[in-house]
């Protein structure tokens, strides 16, 4: 399975061309519920909102540049994930209206 067909590690979404998604290197809790030990000393973290775009070769997808960041407390990661999912949904809706 190519990396373009794997679910996002944070959102759990399987990418589609031009779909909005979020991810972050500093997330305290992954989609499987596991906690990253190295991030337990921080108070805040953020996730980046990006769009999946086709590779130039036409084979698969790659992450586009981060367009927005959503931040919040490490003690309440689900609130950040919820806001990121809501923002991705609103961006997808705007995209479909074009």
Residue 97 lies in a domain: no
- The pLDDT score that the predictor gives to residue 38 is 57
Count of beta carbons in the 10 Å neighbourhood of residue 16: 12
Tell me the helix, strand and coil percentages in the chain, rounded to 5: 30, 25, 45
Residue 98 lies in a domain: no
Residue 68 lies in a domain: yes
Residue 45 lies in a domain: yes
pLDDT tens digits, one per residue of 12-70:
667 889 999 998 767 676 666 666 655 567 788 899 999 999 999 999 899 999 999 99
Give the domain range for residue 15: 3-92
Alpha-carbon distances of 84 from 2, 59, 67, rounded to whole Å: 25, 28, 12
Residue 8 lies in a domain: yes
Please check the confidence at residue 6 and state whether its pLDDT lies above 80: no
How far is 12 from 10, CA to CA, in rounded Å? Answer: 6
Number of domains in the chain: 1
């Amino acid at each position: 399975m190519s990396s373009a067909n794997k679910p996002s590690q944070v959102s759990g979404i399987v990418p589609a061309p031009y779909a909005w998604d979020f991810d972050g290197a500093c997330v305290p809790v992954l989609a499987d519920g596991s906690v990253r030990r190295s991030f337990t000393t921080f108070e805040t973290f953020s996730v980046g909102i990006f769009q999946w775009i086709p590779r130039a070769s036409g084979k698969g997808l790659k992450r586009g540049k981060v367009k927005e960041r959503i931040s919040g407390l490490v003690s309440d990661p689900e609130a950040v994930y919820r806001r990121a999912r809501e923002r991705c949904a609103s961006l997808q809706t705007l995209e479909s209206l074009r």
